[in-house]
Amino acid sequence: MGLRELMEQNRDHILRLTRETVRKRSRAEGSSRELDGGMPNFYDQVITTLRTAEQSDIDTALPPPSRMPSSFGKLSEAAAQYGKELRRLGFSASQVVHVYGSLCDAVTRTAKELRVLIDPAEFNLLNRCLDYAIGEAVTEFEADREKSMVKQQTKHLGFLMHELRNALSNAVFAVQLIKNGAVGASGRTGEALDRNLARMRDLIDRSLTEVRLRSDANLRPEKFEMAEILREIEVMASADVASRGLGLEVRVEAGLELDADRHMIVSAVANLVQNAIKFTHTGGTVVIRATAGPHHTIVVEVQDECGGLPPGRSYDLTHPTPFDTTDPSGVGLGLSIVQQAVHLHGGQVRVTDLPGIGCIFSIALPRAGQDTTTAKPTAQRTDSNTDDS
């Protein structure tokens, strides 16, 4: 019995072994049918390749990709398609490589179980098929991922521009009314102007912070007191709080000094405050606290009054999503920015659910003088608000 006959006669068994090995090696989600995906099709194309090789010189049946005969095009197509399917299921590029290695292992195990000796030339051809398939699958995997990222970022940019345009149009309209003397600057129109200017500022600030986090991870530290930035954030949030009928309390201990990238810390705390304002029920209060924490840290807590999470609901901070287009605001950057900015400073982020009351987002940062290079931040996975705007 040759390699081709072995694979033909034991097709279902080998595919089952392959699937079991893939599941053990990866954390892929989805049903067995989804995980199988294009593997059966690729498997059949390998058999076709082996059959073609039997009719020619087995050592030259599969030349380098640059001289690949058209008769082997379907093998390439099957491998590429399966690479795309594996990316959709959440596999990494390295896991895609393991999938094809798992198929080779399954064939080898089956041959040992049945005590079938495989001709070295045939086995060499199988490995060359798999090597070629890995190259095609990973290439398609990377190309598909790049297309997905570009599409996602383009959609995100479109949302951002839409939000900025709306805020700018509203602000221009309010200014015209005030200039024409139709309304006073201190009335509702003035409040609308303040609110839309604040919206534009927040959108621009978030976008600039994200650009820095993606393109320049180098911190620009300076010494400042936590009280300074909390006063700044309080002023920034005042118009939004007033327009929503909320209360805002800021409680900060004196002498809490940081040696950090001021822009990133302001952005991180401001995003938590904006998140709290967004979810706090009308008449509720958003509380910002800054206290001295254990192990020479500063702990900043932002508490909302959203009513708490529904039973069984939680937010996983270990997997922030920078481009979450399900966010009604169309931004989807907030908690991702918080997570990245805090971790760059050797800090931690926690989320605590207060059933029936609200949620507390807290940041622990090293105080000035603390060596952040020795810190070992770990994301805390607890109940939390589900927004990541």
DSSP-derived 3-state class of residue 245: coil
d(CA 312, CA 87): 29
Phi, psi angles (nearest 5°) of residue 94: -65, -35
Closest CA to 374 of 295, 319, 298: 295
Report which of residues 29 and 133 the model is more confident about. Answer: 133
Q: What is the pLDDT of residues 296-321, one digit of tens each?
A: 999 999 999 998 877 766 655 544 44
- pTM for the full model? 0.50
Mean pLDDT (whole number) for 361-368: 90
Contacts of 186 (CB under 8 A, 6+ apart): none
**CA dihedral of 63, 68, 70, 73, whole degrees rounded to 10:** 100
Q: How far is CA 134 from CA 79, 148, 214, in A?
A: 7, 21, 30
Q: What domains are defined for the chain?
A: 3-150 (1.10.490), 219-374 (3.30.565.10)
Rounded to the nearest 10 degrees, the angle between the axes of helix 334-344 and helix 262-279 is 150
Q: What is the pLDDT of residues 25-42, one digit of tens each?
A: 665 444 444 455 667 877
Element (H, E) at 248: strand 247-252
Q: What is the pLDDT of residues 213-229, one digit of tens each?
A: 666 556 788 899 999 98
d(CA 49, CA 34): 25
Mean pLDDT (whole number) for 51-71: 54
Mean pLDDT (whole number) for 60-66: 49
Mean pLDDT (whole number) for 157-184: 79
